[in-house]
Amino acid sequence: MNESLSTFFVRPGEFTFCDPARLYDRKIMNLRRIALLVAALGVVVAVCVQYGTNLLDSAKETVTALPTPGRPPVQVVTPPPEKGGPGKNVGINVAKENALPGTTDWKLKNPGPQNAIEGYADRVSVDPGDKFGLYVSTPARDFQVEAYRMGWYDGKQGRLVWSSDRVRGQRQAAAETTPQIYMARAPWKRSLEVSTQGWPEGDYRLKLVSAAGHDRWVPLTVRSKSAEGRSVFINAVATWAAYNSWGGANIYGGIKGYGDRARKVSFDRPYSGAGDGLFGWHELPMLTLAERMGIPLAYGTSLELDSEPARFKGARGMIFPSHDEYWSSGMRTNTIALRDKGVNLAFFGANNAYRHVRFESSPLGAERVVTCYKDAAEDPMSLTDTDEATQQWRQAPNPRPESSFLGIQYEWAGVLAPYVVTDPNVWMYKGTGAHAGSQYPGLVRSEFDRVFSDGNTPRPIQILSNSPVVINGKDKSFANSSYYTTVSGAGVFSAGTLGWTCAVDASPCWGKLPKETGKFATKVAENIISAFQAGPAAKAHPAVDNYEKYARPTGRFKYNM
């Protein structure tokens, strides 16, 4: 136990902040001070009585709330969920929820250094009413938690649903790293337990605010128990974890570089930076759009997609808002099964389903570790089950190109180019004013996908864009968007660029985008989400195959890092 913890937890033979002996110093005591000391001791004794129960419970790892000044605790009354008949709960009414008063207080004002305040939850997602633990580290004397449900809310994007009392702060232990695997975790004590009773389904930012004025987020999904008749918004938490470098390493590299990259990454640690993983830049803009539209929504994460497919029974569509790179076998199998039952799939990013991962348990529970060696030769699983070795899905020992269910697949990163329309008469371009050859600057950015002639591409597939890009300043290629339909009636859209989601809300993008780019991206997304929510899209919008015109062989580019 470190010094900051010893202030609030009692161990045999140690003083505490309530120990009167600490107020007594024989070297400097004089008669004139005795009267003042007696009065002070009376106050201290009263405080000790008030907090005695907390101190005696020091063996427990939960820190009790302090009644110190701050934002008054908030518990907002939430309208009851919509009903689909006697006893049938069909989930949240998104339009009514977003008509409630919003706020921009969810925004961070002063994150300060990484260790000023940071935390994580012991559950990535919970059912409404479930409890979860928060693990927080801060040198400040105390902190408060504010829970914001994220959405539209008349453009404010958040609503305060709950806030805690003040909670004692403590500087928690340093990262614990697994040798050779380079997996970091935060072996912390639980700071408080939170009940989500009364919280509506959706995506949340828990804002940690310290007494010193520093703030940082912790993400949480209040998932839907049923997706019947709804479009499901999926948080790509496996990808968030892969990119998280808290503790020294992520899947891409460590302190020394690629060699000491993490082979496994844990959810038992904060996210580096602002604390919310990739949610803000990659997902919040599309969530805001979908909630502004008011369509029936359900909510889930990579984890439910992996192991709880029954939650998505009867869904109309699946919304993958942006960068969703890391996929387990369960995620892939269950997504294809949904498609084959007529569920539409909308991928508004690029580089999706590129890496094969496994989920493993941590000391805090199941599916708290994401395993990805990025090289089958390194992965011990390749000795016993080659199907579960963790490398690119398209690579040996069992190549399964992601284009087989995405339509297109990843080629390269680091590009910035206009999005070039091929056929302006396709249904998703309706209302955009696009014509053949229309260009939308900045919409193709960072990573991109294209259609490959040797990638096991589903047919019929319609290539919606063909945007010239330059790789490494010299090599030329094309970025494509695609739409295909299946015998089940499902429609599958893939944007093929990481620029789409941020284009519907230019604020998180790199630099400024032209207004016409944002308007185009927004209208196309609205058209797709609306059509997919209506049911299997193939009947009203069958794909018109033009594969032969745009498909090209795999290039010489390799991107294993």
pLDDT > 70 in the chain, percent: 82
Q: How confident is the model at residue 505, as a pLDDT?
A: 81
Q: Does the pLDDT value for residue 6 go beyond 60? A: no
Percent residues over pLDDT 90 in the chain: 79
- Tell which residue, 417, 510, 494, has the closest CA to residue 449: 494
**Residue 370, class by beta-carbon neighbours within 10 Å (0-12 exposed, 13-18 middle, 19+ buried)?**
buried
Are 298 and 226 spatial neighbours (Cβ–Cβ below 8 Å)? Answer: yes
pLDDT over 90 (residue 9): no
Each residue of 304-317: pLDDT tens digit? 999 999 999 999 99
Q: What digits encode the pLDDT tens for the residues 320-343? A: 999 999 999 999 999 999 999 999
CA 156 from chain centre, in angstroms, equals 20
Tell me if the bond preceding 460 is cis, omega within 30° of 0.
Answer: yes
The residue-averaged pLDDT of 420-425 equals: 96
Q: Which of 125-139, 309-323, 510-524 has the lowest mean pLDDT?
A: 510-524
pLDDT at 78: 62
Residue 558 has a pLDDT of 59
Whole-model pTM: value is 0.86
Q: What are phi and psi of 170, to 5 degrees?
A: -155, 140
Mean pLDDT of the chain: 87
- pLDDT grade, residue 80 (50/70/90)? low
Grade residue 75 by pLDDT with cuts at 50, 70 and 90.
low
Q: For the chain, how many helices (H) and strands (E)?
A: 12, 30
Helix/strand/coil for 239:
helix
Q: Environment class of residue 459 by beta-carbon count within 10 Å: exposed (0-12), middle (13-18) or buried (19+)? A: exposed
Q: Which residues contact 57 (CB under 8 A, 6 or more apart)?
A: 64
The enclosing H or E element of 35 equals helix 31-56
Q: Could you give the CA distance from residue 356 to residue 369 in angstroms, rounded to a whole number? A: 14
Give pLDDT, residue 512: 78
Farthest-apart Cα atoms in the chain, separation: 99
Express each pLDDT in 356-405 by its tens digit. 999 999 999 999 999 999 999 999 999 999 999 999 999 999 999 999 99
**Distance in angstroms (rounded) separating the CA atoms of residues 264 and 360:** 9
Which pair of tokens denotes residue 470?
């330059």
Spatial distance between the Cα atoms of 543 and 531, rounded to a whole number of angstroms: 14
pLDDT of residue 557: 61
Both structure tokens of 314: 């009867």
Q: How far apart are CA 237 and CA 305, in angstroms?
A: 11
Q: SS3 string of 362-384? A: ECCEEEEEEECCCCCCCCHHHHC
> Quick one: pLDDT at residue 305?
98
Local confidence band at 90 (pLDDT 50, 70, 90 cut-offs): low
Pairing of strands 166-168, 231-235: unpaired
What does the pLDDT look like over 432-464, one tens digit per residue? 999 999 999 999 999 999 999 976 899 999 999
